[in-house]
Amino acid sequence: MPSVIRRASDLATLVADWRALSAKVGFVPTMGALHEGHASLVRAALEECNRVIVSIFVNPLQFDRPDDLERYPRVEKADIGYLADLGVHAVFVPAVAEIYPEGHVTRVVQSGLVDRLCGASRPGHFEGVLTVVLQLFNMVRPDRAYFGLKDYQQVAVIRRMVRDLHVPIEIRALPTLREKDGLAMSSRNALLEPRLRALAPRLRAAMIELDDAFAAGETSVARLTAELRAALAAIPDSRLDYAEIVDPDDLGPRAEARVGDLLAVALFLGPVRLIDNLRLGDERGP
């Protein structure tokens, strides 16, 4: 069984012990409701590091809607069992007051990348993500931290923070894992009732159609995204948040699509917000 740690002081002791052994420490931050996508990050960390710690913390600061925070799946016991089977060395499961004690007022604020895509439609989201990630980095002090590319923008803003603030941690970003029907694995998928779950693969299918149209020679972003919007609008109970083709580095909008550009989509299916992305002409990655 991994050590299950709830207090920052216990975490500091454990990490100091690991450091004394000169262990390379891998860290996988999560919000729980773990699935095979998280497992792929953990396996990579186990391969590349001597000690691996996973955090499970549903971070209230990154939720822009109270109902979304309330509904977010919480299955701590099952998660710890899952991580034990994977062979991690420790799990950090702090209470909200451990991360944000009374009087915690410091925030990590970024500009630029955070103003686009998810940042534009979820104000304050990335401030919450960056604040908790930097705090967890400082508490765990890992050598490497592992993130999934389903959250492409999250990886981009974290990389920028690490670069700008000289955080001495290597960020590893791994490809999205998918269900057999193409749906990107996500903790939120558990919130889809069966009828909506059956509709969900149409998101990826529509994105692939766009990529096919691009491969066939269409480069007008207006025309490509118009087709995509029409396909998504035909999904019952769906509401498009955004569908954009952007520069993969600065996430700025494009008028003409190029190979490697990022197609990023956020779509509500009923109450559940799904995100997905692909790199145009790039064999369906990331």
Residues 98-127 binding ligand PAF (CB under 6 A) are none
Among 129, 149, 177, 275, binds ligand PAF (CB under 6 A): 129
Give 206-263 as a DSSP string.
HHHHHHHHHHTT--BHHHHHHHHHHHHHTSTTEEEEEEEEE-TTT--B-SB--TTPEE
Q: Which stretch binds ligand PAF (CB under 6 A): 26-34, 46-54, 188-196, 229-237?
A: 26-34
Among 132, 149, 156, 174, binds ligand PAF (CB under 6 A): 132
Residue number, 154 or 176, with CB nearest to ligand PAF: 154
**What is d(CA 96, CA 57) in angstroms, rounded to the nearest whole number?**
8
Q: Are 160 and 185 in contact (CB under 8 A)?
A: no
> What mask of x and - would describe binding to ligand PAF in positions 41 to 60, judged by CB under 6 A?
------------------x-
Among 53, 62, 206, 262, binds ligand PAF (CB under 6 A): 62
Residue 47: burial class (beta carbons within 10 Å; 0-12, 13-18, 19+): exposed
**Nearest-approach distance from CB 196 to ligand PAF, in angstroms:** 21
Amino acid (one-letter) located at 165: L
Sign of the CA dihedral with 181 first, then 126, 147, and 83 last: negative
**Nearest-approach distance from CB 260 to ligand PAF, in angstroms:** 24
Q: Are 187 and 33 in contact (CB under 8 A)?
A: yes
**Nearest-approach distance from CB 30 to ligand PAF, in angstroms:** 5
Residue number, 49 or 245, with CB nearest to ligand PAF: 49
Q: Are 58 and 31 in contact (CB under 8 A)?
A: yes
Residues 138-197 binding ligand PAF (CB under 6 A) are 151, 154
| H helix runs in 122-218, sequence order | 125-140, 152-164, 194-199, 201-215
Among residues 38, 104, 125, 166, the one annotated as catalytic is: 38
Q: Per residue in 236-260, is it b (16+ CB within 10 Å) or e — as a string?
A: eebeebebbbbebeebeebeebeee
**Nearest-approach distance from CB 258 to ligand PAF, in angstroms:** 28
**What is d(CA 278, CA 178) in angstroms, rounded to the nearest whole number?**
12
How many residues interact with ligand PAF (rule CB under 6 A)? 10
Among this protein's residues, is 125 annotated catalytic?
no
**Nearest-approach distance from CB 134 to ligand PAF, in angstroms:** 10
Q: Are strands 144-148 and 170-174 parallel, antiparallel or unpaired?
A: parallel
277 lines the binding site for ligand PAF (CB under 6 A): no
Residue number, 184 or 206, with CB nearest to ligand PAF: 184
> Where in the sequence numbering do the catalytic residues fall?
38
Where do contacts with ligand PAF occur on this chain (CB under 6 A)?
Answer: 29-31, 59, 62, 129, 132-133, 151, 154
